Amino acid sequence: QVQLVESGGGSVQAGGSLRLSCAAASGTIFSIKTVGWYRQPTGKQRELVAQITRGGSTNYAEFVKGRFTISRDNAKKTGYLQMNSLKPEDTAVYYCNALLLAQDRGRVDEFDYWGQGTQVTVSS
């Protein structure tokens, strides 16, 4: 079964950097359409951080523009989120999301998957 495996979260001081990775693992994956990163601060709703299409077009939330960079490596079936100039308000669980063309659930189709989430904590 297809899974998205996240890595790279952790604790950092304000102004620091972290790089999150999201690898599409196991199962049969034909292509990755869109990759997105979302975050959910404690007690709040999940919100979009950034998205990137297969062609490389990007979309960022206003609160991360100029600080975060989303990228992808299609050959490695991996998406990345480079986070610079981190602020305490960036503290949240970060989730990757991907729309994949895959063989799953007994058929070949486009499926939406979520990673397990990784904690990012920024201290002042």
> What does the longest C-alpha to C-alpha distance in the chain come to?
49
| CA–CA separation, 81 and 94 (whole Å) | 10
pLDDT tens across the length of the chain (124 residues)? 899 999 999 999 999 999 999 999 888 999 999 999 999 999 999 999 999 999 999 999 999 999 999 999 999 999 999 999 999 999 999 999 999 999 998 999 999 999 999 999 999 9
Token pair in block for residue 95: 């989730």
Counting beta carbons within 10 angstroms of the beta carbon of residue 116, is it exposed (0 to 12), middle (13 to 18) or buried (19 or more)?
exposed
| CA–CA separation, 64 and 56 (whole Å) | 18
Position of tokens 């304000």?
14
Q: Which residues pair with 41 in a beta bridge?
A: none
